[in-house]
Amino acid sequence: MQEGININPREWLDSRIAMGMKLGLENCQTLLSRLGDPHLDFPSIHVAGSNGKGSLCVQLSAAASSSGLTTGLFTSPHLVTVEERIRIDGRPIKPDDFKRHLIRVREASEQEPECSPTYFETTFLAAMLAFSEAGVERGIIETGMGGRLDATRLVDADLCFLTTISMEHSEFLGDNLREIAFEKASIHRPGVPMIAILHEDTEVREVIEGIAGSDLVWWPSQGPTSWEGYGSMVQVAAEMLEWSSSSGECVWPGRSPDFGQDWVEGVTTRISAAHNAESLAADLSEIDRPCVLLFGMTAKNDLRETLIPLVRELASGRIFQGIVYTQPISGRNRAVTIEELKVAMSSLGMGSPDAANENPIEAFVIASKMAADSDCDLIVMGSVYLVGDLFKHMVERHGWNLWEALTSH
C-alpha cells in the first residue's frame, strides 16, 4: 500500500516526525526533479550558522520586500503553526495553500521508486512549490542544520551568509568546532560571495577560508544575537544585489527586540529563544535590569555545558531576583524535565529554583507574579518551543488574529 494514502496531508506530514533528522541531498534532489525543479525559479540568499540565522533572514526578507521584490522566506522551527515556516512578503502562507503543496509533495514521494522525505525536507519542498507558484523574485533561505548536507543547499543561491559557529548538534555535525564549521561553511558555491562573521578561533577561520577562498568576505564579530548587527549585514546585501532599500520594518516573533514586552501588565517582559551556550551567554550579557527568570529547555546531548553560562550568571548574583523552572510542551524535540534540570543544575553547584511547574502557562503566571511583587522585569529563556507555548497562550487569551500576529513585515 502506498504510504499515506489513507490519511490527510497534515497527518501525513506529522507522520514524518518519527523519521527524525537525516542529513543528505538525495531525497530532495529526487523529489524536486519530480516536482519540476521549483527551487530554480528564483534566486536565493542562503544563510547558515549556529545562532542569529532567523534574525538575519527576516531582516533580509523585509529589505527585499521593501525594494519591491516578491520575497519568499523559509525558516525553522515554527512557534505555533507549521505554515509560519513559509512566508511570502512576511506573511505565513494560508493553510489551504500549504495543504495543496503537501499533497503534491506526497504524490511525488509515492511515485516509483518511493522516496520518503523527513518532516523538515517536506516543509522545504512545500516552500519551494509555494514560492514558485507565488512568482517569488527573491528567496531568503535558512538552513535547518549544518549546511553541506542540508536540503536547503539545493537552492540557487547568488549570495551566502555564515553567522556564528558554536558547538551544537555534535551527534550530526562533528565533535569539534572545525568539523562543525566545515559543515556550515559548505553552503558556499564557487563564484558566489559568502559573508561570514569573523570567528575568534584561528582553526575555524582557516576552515572557512579553505572552503570559500576569494569569495569570502569577513564581517567583524558583533555578538551572536545582535539584532542591529545583523541589520548592518543586510545593508551590505542590499548594495551587492542593488536593492532600492537596505532595511524594512519587521518583527521576528519570539526573537526580535521588544517582542512580548507588554505581555504582563505592569511588568516589562523580555523573550529570548536562546537555546545553546553561545546564545545563552550573549542574551544574558545584555540583561541590564533586575529580573525574574522563567527557564525551560529541550533535550541536549551536552546539557551541563549548555547551562554553564546561566550558572555563572546566577552565581554572580548580578541580576536575577528569582528563578522558575518549567518545560516546553510543544515542538518536535523532547523537553528537559524539571527533575532533569534540577539534577543538572545541582551538579553545577546550583540549589533548587524558587518555584517550578511542568505547565509553562502556570509557570509563566507564577514568574509574572514574582516579578510584579519584586518590581522587576521578567525574562523567558531556554527554548524556542517554550516561547511558542507562551505565544500561543497569549494569542488565545487575547483573541488575536494568529496570522496577523505571526506576520513579520
Cβ neighbourhood burial of 246 (10 Å; 0-12, 13-18, 19+)? middle
pTM for the structure as a whole: 0.93
Query: What local confidence, expressed as pLDDT, does residue 2 receive?
Result: 47
What band does 367 get if pLDDT is binned at 50, 70 and 90?
very high
What band does 1 get if pLDDT is binned at 50, 70 and 90?
very low
Which tens digits make up the pLDDT trace of 5-18? 567 999 999 999 88
Which tens digits make up the pLDDT trace of 68-79? 999 999 999 999
Mean per-residue pLDDT of the chain: 93
Q: Report the pLDDT averaged over residues 313-323.
A: 93
Which tens digits make up the pLDDT trace of 242-264? 999 999 999 998 788 889 999 99
Q: Is the pLDDT of residue 352 over 80?
A: yes
What band does 355 get if pLDDT is binned at 50, 70 and 90?
very high
What band does 321 get if pLDDT is binned at 50, 70 and 90?
very high
